[in-house]
Amino acid sequence: MQVFYNGRFMPAEQVSIDMEDRGYQFADGIYEVVRVYNNRLFHLKPHLERLGRSAAGVELELPWPQEELADVMAQLVKANRPGDGIVYLQITRGVAPRNHPFPARAEPAITMYTKEFPRPTRNVEQGVACITVDDDRWLRCNIKSISLLPNVLAKQKAARAGVYEAIFVRNGRITEGSSSNIFCVYGDTVQTHPANNLILNGITRQALLRLIKQEGFRLVEEPFSVPGLLAADEAIVSSTTSEVTPIVQVDGHAIGEGRPGRVTRALQAAFEAEIRRETGA
Ligand SMILES: Cc1ncc(COP(=O)(O)O)c(C=O)c1O
């Protein structure tokens, strides 16, 4: 498999990471995960735009224009042909002797690779169970930073509980999932946390906002509580890899009738049409 590491395409086995990479030492970096369907990149532009915002958010100057990153990504997909997969892109502040302030001379270090990742067909069809956990993350969750320890700990709680996702709750309000955004549905109204510093504004979330309006549903961007979620008719977990997955159970309580609902199905169909339009998959 070909990867892109620090400006060069090379076989994955030849990559060695410097132990003084600030990503390794401080988690001082940002990342993106872009979906590939049918060997075509999906929603590429908004992912690169978000990467630019994440970089600016941590004062990291990207030496590569977005077109160049897009070009490298396309070349990797062409070389590796993951079919249905992802491209992982990570940029750290570079390699320098360990010291907290920004290094004077370090060049940002870039890593890009592809991975096969099948469609989550079973979850999309049947729905998933989730648990709620305390949101104890920092207050800049809008930045797609590689500092993911609280997310990892939350996801491990979900894994231990035998469920799909951990849903973060801050001051009684649901923010998002450990690696996803969360929606709930009341009648024809779809509600989700607003895109502020408390959540990552998912690219799938942004697509859903469009599709909610397109399909004639009402959109409310306001936080909701745990009892609000438990009382919803339907709920959804969205991400690049989860797509539009129904949530059918939270903390052991059934959501609605405990199976994927009408609004979720309509949004899944609209999302599927968007995938087909953009990638032919
Ligand atoms: C914390 C968090 N929120 C939301 C998302 C969903 O974002 P996207 O739809 O761009 O994958 C992710 C994706 O990894 C995430 O890590």
Q: What percent of the chain has pLDDT over 90?
A: 98
Judged against a pLDDT cut of 90, whether residue 53 lies above it is answered with yes
pTM above 0.85, yes or no: yes
Place of tokens 């979900």: 158
Contact 224/184 with Cβ under 8 angstroms?
Answer: yes
The mean pLDDT value for 1-29 works out to 96
pLDDT at position 279: 97
Distance 217 CA to ligand 1 centre (A): 23
Ligand 1 in reach of 264 Cβ (< 6 A): no
- Kindly tell me the sign of the dihedral angle through the C-alpha atoms of 260, 266, 269, 271: negative
DSSP state letters, 50-78: HHHHHHHHTT---SS-HHHHHHHHHHHHH
Distance 201 CA to ligand 1 centre (A): 7
Judged against a pLDDT cut of 90, whether residue 83 lies above it is answered with yes
- Mean of all residue pLDDT scores within the chain: 98
Pocket test residue of 115, 139, 200 for ligand 1, highest count of atoms within 8 A of CB = 200
pLDDT at position 78: 98
Q: If one looks up domain 121-279 in CATH, what number appears?
A: 3.20.10.10
What is the pLDDT confidence band of residue 106, given thresholds at 50, 70 and 90?
A: confident
Distance 202 CA to ligand 1 centre (A): 5
Q: Which CATH architecture fits 2-116? A: 2-Layer Sandwich (3.30)
Ligand 1 in reach of 239 Cβ (< 6 A): yes
- Tens-digit pLDDT profile for residues 246-279: 999 999 999 999 999 999 999 999 999 999 999 9
DSSP assignment letter at 106: P
The mean pLDDT value for 65-86 works out to 98
pLDDT at position 114: 98
Judged against a pLDDT cut of 90, whether residue 281 lies above it is answered with no
Contact 200/176 with Cβ under 8 angstroms?
Answer: yes
- Tens-digit pLDDT profile for residues 208-259: 999 999 999 999 999 999 999 999 999 999 999 999 999 999 999 999 999 9
Give catalytic residues, as residue numbers: 144
- Tens-digit pLDDT profile for residues 113-144: 999 999 999 999 999 999 999 999 999 999 99
The mean pLDDT value for 51-63 works out to 96
Judged against a pLDDT cut of 90, whether residue 105 lies above it is answered with no
Alpha-carbon span 207 to 238, nearest angstrom = 10
Q: What percent of the chain has pLDDT over 70?
A: 100
Pocket test residue of 47, 117, 181 for ligand 1, highest count of atoms within 8 A of CB = 181
Q: Where are the chain's structural domains?
A: 2-116, 121-279
pLDDT at position 76: 98
Distances (CA, A) of 25 to 28, 83, 97: 8, 34, 10
